[in-house]
Structure 1
Amino acid sequence: MTIERLDPAALPAATGTYTHGTLVTGARRTVYVSGQVPWADADGRVPPEFDDQCRLTWRNVLAVLAEAGMGVEHLAKVTTYLADRRYREANSRIRQEVLGEHTPALTIIITDIYAEDWLLEIEAVAVES
């Protein structure tokens, strides 16, 4: 299986840790990760700071992937919902920490989040051969 970056020359270069699209060939299994939220830390609470919420949310995404025997290298598409655009830079930094060199297709949406104390939500699609 391969996940190939699609960065057409006709588009401005993708900046940061994403690609304009991904082409998946030879996939045998697909995992759709429901929107994961910063619920809950070891104490059963939602951390108040964005960085902690973001890391916790990614931990939850990775737990779903691990349950399927997958990791970040299998991510083809990630959608992140942010409660406020002021979290953009921290979100990008932490995502890069988590994903490393892997650059899936990516969408970030600024929106109201289901619970008032949640500052983000992340959903994803992963594939494996």
Structure 2
Amino acid sequence: MKKSLHNPASVGAAVGGYTHGCQVAEGQRILFVSGQIPEAADGSIATDFEGQARQVWRNIEAVLQDAGMTLDNLVKVTTFLTDREQVPANRKVRNEVLGDRKVALTVMVATTLEARWLLEIEAIAMA
């Protein structure tokens, strides 16, 4: 995948391992990953935030793999947390999963559809 990162000097530094803008080359395939919840294929849901976050990322990876893509193809990630206190744990898990990969990123505090879901993540990937 060919992409260009955009972090203009006229905008504050991107904090937390993301990029302000991510531009992809013309003619690439686009995959929109619906909001993934922390539910495993067997219906189980971890009770702790980190467990739920790791499951959400496993779900995202499974959708990407089904489309012939990997985490390297991600260009945009939007995370919905249910509590501002989850920000550090979310950042920890996200950084472990994404490593040095830079994506456009948004994190919001919101209410999820089910009270037991502590987060939901949607993504866009290009190949």
The two structures have a TM-score, normalised by structure 1, of: 0.94
The unaligned stretches of length 5 or more in structure 2 are none
The 5-angstrom pairing of residues 2-81 of structure 1 reads: 2-40=2-40, 42=42, 44-81=43-80
Q: Which residue of 2 aligns with 1:113?
A: 112
1:43-100, CA deviations, whole angstroms, 9 ceiling, x for partnerless residues? x321100000000000000100000111111001000000001010110111111111
The two structures have a TM-score, normalised by structure 2, of: 0.95
Q: Is the 8 A contact 1:22 1:105 kept in 2?
A: yes
CA RMSD of aligned residues (A): 1.1
Q: Is the 8 A contact 1:30 1:125 kept in 2?
A: yes
One-letter code aligned to 1:70: M
1:61 alignment partner, SS class: helix
Q: Is the 8 A contact 1:27 1:127 kept in 2?
A: no
Q: Is the 8 A contact 1:2 1:26 kept in 2?
A: no
Q: Which residue of 1 aligns with 2:96?
A: 97
One-letter code aligned to 1:66: Q
